[in-house]
Structure 1
Amino acid sequence: MSKIKIFIPCDDANHVCDKTQYKEASLWEMIKLNIHLIYCRACRKYTNNNTKLTKAIKESNVECLDKKSKESMKLDFEKALKELTD
């Protein structure tokens, strides 16, 4: 009979916290994370900071470059880098 692991180390808790931020954590992982957060102050702080970061990113009005602009910028950078090394 296998033993069910409810308690997880901080590294695993932080990883699950990150997965939760991107909605990739399973229900069981979130349950274990919440149990861990009951007794670990450091991970509670990490989770709170992660939540604040996620909220700030969602509320920001940052516009990303389109793929064509990124590719153009990359080519310009590579050209400038080549000029410096020649």
Structure 2
Amino acid sequence: MEKQKKGLLFVSCEEAQHICDKAQYDEASLFDKIKLNIRLSWCKVTRAYYKRNVKLTEKIKESDVDCLTPECKENMKKELNKAIQEQAS
């Protein structure tokens, strides 16, 4: 499906969803946020997508998930590379 630009301030639903994703991670520009808000004012599909994104972000922030430490990640990477080299030999 091809992305279609609607104009300077009016964006397609797909582009609005992309902007929504960027805004979720604080990567959207002010102009992008303005375009998103215009789209949110009249598009039910984009509003529903936005609401799901907000809920997902809240749930992830609420979760108390322990992530791997950088050292653990590095060790896993070394072990994986070692196993790959052994397989190639």
- TM superposition score category, shorter chain reference: 0.7 to 0.9
Name 2:42's counterpart in structure 1.
39
Count of aligned pairs between the two proteins: 83
Name 1:58's counterpart in structure 2.
61
Matches within 5 A, 1:3-82: 5-80=8-83
Shift in Å at residue 30 of structure 1?
1.1
Shift in Å at residue 55 of structure 1?
0.7
Unaligned runs of 5+ in 2: 1-6
Between structures 1 and 2, the one with greater helix share? 1
User: Helix, strand or coil for the counterpart of 1:74?
Assistant: helix
Report the AA paired with residue 35 of structure 2.
K
Higher relative contact order (CA 8 A, sep 6+): 1
For residues 46 and 86 of structure 2, the distance between their equivalents in structure 1, rounded to whole angstroms, comes to 47
Identity within the alignment, %: 48
